[in-house]
Structure 1
Amino acid sequence: EAFKAGGGQVENIRVPLQNPDFSPFLQRVADAKPEALLVFVPSGVGAQFMKQFVERGLDKSGIKLIGTGDLTDDDILNGMGDIALGVITAQHYSASHDSPENKAFVEGFKKANPGLRPNFMAVGGYDGMHALYEGLKKTKGEGGEALVTAMKGLSWTSPRGPISIDPETRDIIQNVYIRKVERVNGELWNQEFETIPNVKDPTKAKK
């Protein structure tokens, strides 16, 4: 809506999830010659998308590639190779997030899962368990509605950064980080360079 209000043009291209062959859709992008391509794909197929993006020559077309964090998911990013360098994404967690809490989390995760690094799903599981633990402490072990009520308004410092649970909507409030894929010490990382703080569900925030 913001792009259209500013006089820009936006086109949506939907890709079947059961057969993620991006070639015909990327050809439509090449023919349209947009200034930028915003990509949202399920986690796990980002590498396939990036490969076909390069095969079509779109990496040298001048079209800016941006996406949600699923595109350069932390646990598969290294396997993408140099084709991922420079890609800009937005996500609520990066394995490279610079904080004591995240460094301890990454270290513990790697110890338990040799050769892997945590991604947004891993930190989601971690924070979910933290919320349950803190809620159960408040209710002295009682579950059900008492537990749900106890978790409303919880706030803590997560490996992803400061987060809280909105007491009205029960949705999470969290930072969203703008990242760029860079090579650091021989590995590819989503390096954060800007933070959008305290983001709520935009569909509910508008109401």
Structure 2
Amino acid sequence: MKHLLKTLKLILATSVFATFFCLPAVAQEAIKIGLVAPMSGTFALYGQGFYHSMQAYMANYGDTVAGKKVEIIVRDNTTNTPENAKRLAQELVTRERVDFLAGFALSPDALSVASLSTQAKRPTIVMLAAASGLTAKSPYLTRVSYSNTQTSVTMAKWAYKNGLRKVYTVVSDYAPGIDCEVAFQKAFTSLGGKIIGNSRMPLANLDYAPYVQRLKESGADAAFLFVPSGDPMVSFMKNFVERGLPQTGMKLLTTTDLAEEYIKPMGDTAVHITNAIQYYDTLDNEENAKYKAAYLKIAGKNPGAIALGGYDGMAVIYEVARKLDGKLDPEKVMATMKGIKIKSPRGDLTIDPETRDAVANMYVAKIEKRGNQYVPVVIDTFTNVKEGQ
């Protein structure tokens, strides 16, 4: 009998929790956005960039939409672990009753929240995490940044278009690095290029000298590199120059954020980079001018490709809220997001109606030194690039 009572209590508790957890967002006067991102620690610049960009959007377009106040509730994933990201997201759903989850700097964080988004029926805006196929993990995920496939395939197409035929790939040995390696290799070889070697480097290791030496001895026309923005790029570039690879004529192809805060620590080594990504602060359009002005006032510096996700994520949320007159039923929100088009600092951004991934221009740029600054200058544009193309 005791066993039966215990079983009944467990079933009741589980069903009550499931019923509560699957409740739709409560009708409320505010539109609540729960931001989960590293605001401190190793990747603090990522989360801070999201938040500053969200604030910049509100500075430009107001803190109300469809008659409702917009509220951002921040949770710091300081440990930068998937487990913590999921715990924080669950807290935002169950305690704060947010209408949207947002942020997610690294792909494991976004992947950890996919099942939660599905169970809670909570629309989730991925502002960076670039793993290929990410949005397929939940019907409630929409990505406003880019995928590793989009950047890497763009770089492969540019390389072949510009006469490069032999490439050596070198990437950090974790999911995003492998994503980039596979996408670049597949695209480059399909065009007729040849991959003459590859290296995968431990993520925590910043001693790249052995890998750069191997690269130097390969006889490649170019190297395709993916390491995280920040210290890894600074360290690799130092080794690349110290071992004399620029003098061999070898090109360096990357897919990284070239925000002011990431270029500056590289110093003169930055001028050897050719890069493909969705945004540079040097893009010449009206929306970018507005974005940069607001961001500079808030953050004291120019934004970059990582930070942009916060601005574009807010633009999507505002547009959905307007179209639904502030009535944010989760199913209607997700249906409205499909195919939605916004004006972004990168140019027009469309959410693919099938994949809920970003469709937008990808830009290839070289770094030039102008006075005491290092500036990304766009040298080619690939229009309306889709995930998987």
Q: TM-score, normalised by structure 2?
A: 0.49
**Are the counterparts in 2 of residues 152 and 165 from structure 1 also a CA contact under 8 Å?**
yes
Which has the higher mean CA deviation after the structures are superposed, 73-82 or 47-56? 73-82
Q: Distance in 1 between matches of 2:234 and 2:205?
A: 15
Other-structure match for 2:347: 161
Other-structure match for 1:30: 216
Residue number in structure 2 paired with 1:140: 325
Instruction: Show the counterpart of 2:91.
Output: none
Counterpart amino acid of residue 306 in structure 2: M
Q: How far apart are 1:60 and its partner, in Å?
A: 1.6
Counterpart of 1:51 in structure 2: which amino acid? K
Q: 2: distance between equivalents of 1:74 and 1:49?
A: 18
Q: In structure 2, what is the Cα distance between the partners aligned to 1:47 and 1:73?
A: 13
> Take 2:351 and 2:214, find their aligned partners in 1: how far apart are those partners?
41
The structural deviation recorded for 1:59 is 2.1
How many residues in Structure 1 have an aligned counterpart in Structure 2?
201
TM-score (norm 1): 0.90
Match of 1:49 among 206, 216, 236: 236
Q: State whether residues 228 and 256 of structure 2, in contact with CA within 8 Å, keep that contact through their aligned partners in structure 1.
A: no
Which residue in 2 is equivalent to 1:175?
A: 361
Query: How many angstroms apart in 2 are the aligned matches of 1:187 and 1:178?
Result: 19
Q: CA RMSD in A?
A: 1.7
- In the alignment, the residues of structure 2 paired with residue 9 and residue 194 of structure 1 have an alpha-carbon distance, to the nearest angstrom, of 23
Q: 1:129 to 1:143 in 2, by over 3 A?
A: farther
1:103 paired to 2:289: yes
Aligned to 2:245: 58
Measure the CA separation in 2 of the matches of 1:184 and 1:104.
23
Contact 1:85–1:182 (8 Å) recurs in 2: yes
Unaligned 5+ runs, structure 2? 1-185
Residue from 367, 375, 380 that aligns with 1:189 = 375
CA distance in structure 2 between the aligned counterparts of 1:80 and 1:11, rounded to whole angstroms: 26
Paired residues of 2:196 and 2:218 also in contact (CA < 8 A): no
Larger Rg: 2
Change in Cα spacing, 1:111 to 1:73, as seen in structure 2 (3 Å) is closer
Q: 1:93 aligns with which of 246, 255, 279?
A: 279
Are the counterparts in 2 of residues 86 and 182 from structure 1 also a CA contact under 8 Å?
Answer: no
**Which residue of structure 1 aligns with residue 312 of structure 2?**
127
Task: Indicate whether 1:79 and 2:265 are aligned.
Answer: yes
Larger helix fraction of residues: 2
CA distance in 2, matches of 1:42, 1:188: 19
Please report how far the alpha carbon of residue 185 of structure 1 lies from its aligned counterpart in structure 2 after TM superposition. 4.7
In structure 1, what residue type is equivalent to 2:309? G
- Which amino acid letter does the alignment assign opposite residue 126 of structure 1? Y
Maintained 8 Å contact 1:78/1:187:
yes
1: CA distance between counterparts of 2:193 and 2:309? 38
Instruction: Judge which range, 38-47 or 4-13, deviates more.
Output: 4-13
Which string of whole-angstrom CA distances, capped at 9 and with x for unpartnered residues, describes residues 25-76 of structure 1?
1111012121100111112121121111112221222211111133x44432
Which residue identity does 1:54 align to in structure 2? V
CA contact under 8 A between 1:74 and 1:94: conserved in structure 2? Answer: no
After superposition, the Cα gap between the structure-2 partners of 1:86 and 1:56, relative to the gap in structure 1 and judged at 3 Å, is closer
